[in-house]
Amino acid sequence: MNHTLTVRNAYGRDFKNKSQILKHYHSNFDFQNLDPMVRGAIVNKQDAKRFKVGYLRVRYNNLRDVQIIDVKKGDFQ
């Protein structure tokens, strides 16, 4: 399917830099989906692969900055 999800760190935490995002992702920790249709749904690395998500658009630094993770490569786009 290869769709893109816009997410942020789950449970009220925030990332300060890119390295924190990638470490969080590879540790299979949770992200919160920001899509208005499913706001609050939780997704992690395992879920993204299982549901064939192409990219995770990660909002961080109080939602001001964006980095995109290519799920297939496991690294930033």
Q: Is it the case that residue 12 has pLDDT exceeding 80?
A: yes
- CB-facing half-sphere around the CA of 39: CA atoms within 13 A: 1
pTM of the model: 0.93
- Please compute Rg for the chain using Cα positions: 11
* Amino acid (1-letter code) at residue 64: R
Whether 66 has a pLDDT exceeding 70, the answer reads yes
How sure is the predictor about 60, in pLDDT bands with cuts at 50, 70 and 90?
very high
pLDDT per residue as tens digits for the range 19-47 = 999 999 999 999 999 998 987 899 999 99
Domain ranges, ordered by start, for the chain = 3-76
Q: What is the DSSP string of 7-37?
A: EEESTT----SHHHHHHHHHTT--EEE--TT
The answer to whether the Cα torsion of 27, 68, 8, 32 is positive or negative is negative
| pLDDT higher than 90, residue 7 | yes
